[in-house]
A = this chain, B = another copy of it.
Amino acid sequence: MIQFALVSEEISLPLALTMGEPAGISGEISLKAWLQRDVLETTFFLIDDPNRLAKLSHSLGLDVPIKTIDIPSQATNVFHLGLPVLPLDNSVRSNLGIPSVDTAGTVIESIEKAVRLTQSGDAAGVVTNPIQKEVLYDAGFAHPGHTEYLAELAGLKFSPIMMLAGEHLRVIPVTIHISLRQALEQLKTSEIIHATQVTYQALKNEFGISQPRIAVAALNPHAGEGGTMGNEEKTIIQPAITSLLNQGIEVLGPLPPDTLFSPQQRQTYDAAICMYHDQALIPIKALEFDQAVNVTLGLPFVRTSPDHGTALDIANLGKANPSSLISSINLAAKMAAQRKNC
- Is the Cβ of A261 less than 8 Å from the Cβ of B285? yes
Partner of A230 from the list B181, B257, B283 (CB cut-off 8 Å) is B181
- Nearest to A233 among chain B residues (CB) is B179
- Say whether, besides A278-B257, A282-B257, A221 and B179 are in contact (CB < 8 Å): yes
Per-residue CB contact flags for chain A residues 272-309 toward chain B (1 = under 8 Å, else 0) read 00001111011101110100000000000000000000
A262 on the interface (CB 8 Å rule)?
A: yes
Of A224, A279, A282, most buried by chain B (CB within 10 Å of CB) is A282
| A221-B177 in contact (CB<8A) | yes
Instruction: Please give, as numbers and ranges, the residues of chain B lying within 8 Å of A285 by CB-CB distance.
Output: 258-259, 261-262
- Known contacts A258-B277, A278-B257, A282-B279; A180 and B230 CB within 8 A of each other: yes
A18 at the interface (CB under 8 A from B): no
Residues B179 and A230 in contact, CB atoms below 8 Å apart? yes
Q: Which residues of B contact A179 (CB under 8 A)?
A: 220-221, 224, 229-232
- Could you list 12 further interchain pairs (A-B, Cβ under 8 angstroms) beyond the known A262-B289, A283-B286? A177-B221, A178-B229, A179-B220, A179-B231, A180-B219, A181-B230, A182-B229, A184-B184, A257-B282, A261-B285, A263-B289, A282-B286
Chain B residue numbers with a CB within 8 Å of A283 are: 282-283, 286
Q: Chain B contacts of A282 at CB under 8 A?
A: 257-258, 260-261, 279, 282-283, 286
- How far does the alpha carbon of A30 sit from the alpha carbon of B177 in the complex, in Å? 46
- Shortest A158–chain B CB gap in Å is 23
Chain B nearest CB from A315 CB (Å) reads 18
In the assembled complex, which residues on chain B have CB atoms less than 8 Å from the CB atom of A231? 179
Given A184-B180, A259-B285, A285-B258; A278-B279 close (CB under 8 Å):
yes
Contact of A180 among B178, B220, B262, B281 (CB under 8 A): B220
A333 to chain B, nearest CB (A): 26
Measured CB to CB, the closest approach of chain B to A277, in angstroms, equals 4
Across-interface contacts of A257 in B (CB, < 8 A): 278, 281-282
CB neighbours (8 Å) of A221 from chain B are 176-180, 276-278, 281
